[in-house]
Amino acid sequence: MRAAAVVLPLLVAVLAACSGGGAPQLEVGDAQSAEPVSGASQIVLEITNHGDGDDALVAVDTDTAIAVEIHLTEIDDGQATMRELEAADLPAGETTRFRPGGLHLMLIGPDESIELGGTFDVTLEFDRSDPVTVPVEVVDLLDLTDPAEDEETVDPDG
Ligand SMILES: [Cu+2]
């Protein structure tokens, strides 16, 4: 009965037919993380707002880390630095990606139960939409790192 676990490509078609209301309609994609290194790890996921109202991710909760912070990596003078955001905008009609190198979700003090091949739950809290709990799959770091910082996305899954 978890809507978040159901991926509905049809929603894209529905979007075109949908008008008015001004309400966000969020679809959370598959979430992944890697085994923690040096007491930190990131959650990679996409959130698409199919509605016609803006929303924002305001908090992420999990039992498997001290905290999850919303971070933004910025390149300043060739140096990558990251800062914590209070919220991440999820504009209407757009897909927002959380991944290394840009906007990302940082697990602070992840605990030992986070193991390769396992999963853990996180609850995403939004400004307007109801909270959504999704499973995060723990994968190899190399599978997690998305080199497609630019437009050249290589997706072997098609
Ligand atoms: Cu970070």
3-54 pLDDT, tens per residue? Answer: 554 454 545 444 444 444 599 999 999 999 988 887 788 999 999 999 999 9
Compute, in angstroms, the gap from residue 83 CA to the centroid of ligand 1.
7
Q: What is the pTM of this model?
A: 0.76
Compute, in angstroms, the gap from residue 86 CA to the centroid of ligand 1.
13
Q: What is the pLDDT of residue 120?
A: 96
* Domain extents in the chain: 3-144
* Statement: residue 83 has pLDDT above 90: yes
Question: Sign (positive/negative) of CA torsion 111, 113, 117, 119?
Answer: negative
Tell me if the domain spanning 3-144 has CATH number 2.60.120.680. Answer: no
Compute, in angstroms, the gap from residue 110 CA to the centroid of ligand 1.
13
* Statement: residue 78 has pLDDT above 80: yes
Compute, in angstroms, the gap from residue 60 CA to the centroid of ligand 1.
14
**Bridge-based pairing state of the strands 40-49 and 79-85:** unpaired
104-149 pLDDT, tens per residue? Answer: 999 999 998 899 999 999 999 999 999 999 999 999 888 776 544 4
Question: Sign (positive/negative) of CA torsion 75, 77, 83, 89?
Answer: negative
Compute, in angstroms, the gap from residue 15 CA to the centroid of ligand 1.
32
Phi then psi for residue 151, to 5 deg, are -75, -15
Residues bordering ligand 1, an ion, CB closer than 5 Å = 71, 82, 106
